[in-house]
Amino acid sequence: MRRSNAPIFWSLFGAGGVLSALIGPMLVFITGIAVPLGLGLPRDLMSYPRMLMFAQHWAGKMFLFAVIALFLWHGMHRIFHNLHDFGVRTGTGAKLVCYGLALLGTAVSAYALLALGF
C-alpha cells in the first residue's frame, strides 16, 4: 500500500493544536478584549511604536510567525477533514484549497514580518 503524506500535515496540525491549546485563550483575551478595553492591561500596549518594536525584534518575529503559521496549519487541516465528515468529496482540489490557504497565510506573514525590518 502506498505510504501516505498525511504525517506532514498532521505534525503541523499537532504543533498548532498544542500551541493554540496552551496560549490561544490568553492571546485572544489580551489582543481582543483586555487591551482594547484597557482591562487590567494598558490600552497603549499594542500601540504602533510598541508593536513595531516587538515585530522588529527577532523573538517577536518568531512568536508572531509561529502563532500565525501554526494556528493556520492546525485550523485548515481540521477544516479539510471536517469537510469530509460533512460528506464533501475531499479530493486533490479541496486539499489544494485548504492547505493552499494555510500556505498563503504563512507566506504573507513571513513576507510582512521580513518587510518590517529589524
Partner 1 sequence: MNETRKVIAIEVLRYRPELDDKPFFQTYQVPFAEEMSVLQGLLYIKDELDGTLSFRWSCRMAICGSCGAMIDGVPKLGCHTFLRDYYPNKVRVEPLAHFPIERDLVVGADDFIGKLERIKPYIVPKEPRTLAEGEYLQTPAQLERILQFSSCINCMLCYAACPQYGLDPAFIGPGVLALLHRYNADSRDAARAERMELVNAEEGVWSCTAVGYCSEVCPKGVDPANAVNQNKTTSAVDYFVNLVRPKGAGR
Partner 2 sequence: MSARRPYMRPMDGWWRRNPFFIRYMIREATAVLVVAYVTVLLFGVIRLAQGESAYDAWLASLRSPWSLAFHIVLLANFVYHTWSWFQIMPKTMPMIVIRGKRLQPAVITAAGLLAAAVASVGLLLLTLGIGS
Binding residues (CB under 8 A) for partner 1: these are 1-8, 10-11, 81, 84-85, 87
Give the shortest CB-13-to-partner 2 separation in angstroms.
9
Query: Does residue 109 contact residue 91 with C-beta atoms inside 8 Å?
Result: no
Nearest Cα to 16, choosing from 84, 78, 62, 72?
72
Cell 503524506 found at: 5
Among 6, 8, 11, 52, binds partner 2 (CB under 8 A): 52
Instruction: Round to whole Å and give the CA distance between 52 and 60.
Output: 10
Give the shortest CB-88-to-partner 1 separation in angstroms.
11
Query: Does residue 102 contact residue 76 with C-beta atoms inside 8 Å?
Result: yes
Give the shortest CB-49-to-partner 2 separation in angstroms.
8
Residues of the shown chain interacting with partner 2 in the complex, contacts defined by CB under 8 A: 17-18, 20-33, 35-37, 41-42, 45-48, 50-52, 54-55, 64, 67-68, 71-72, 74-79, 81-82, 85, 87, 105, 108-109, 112-113, 115-116
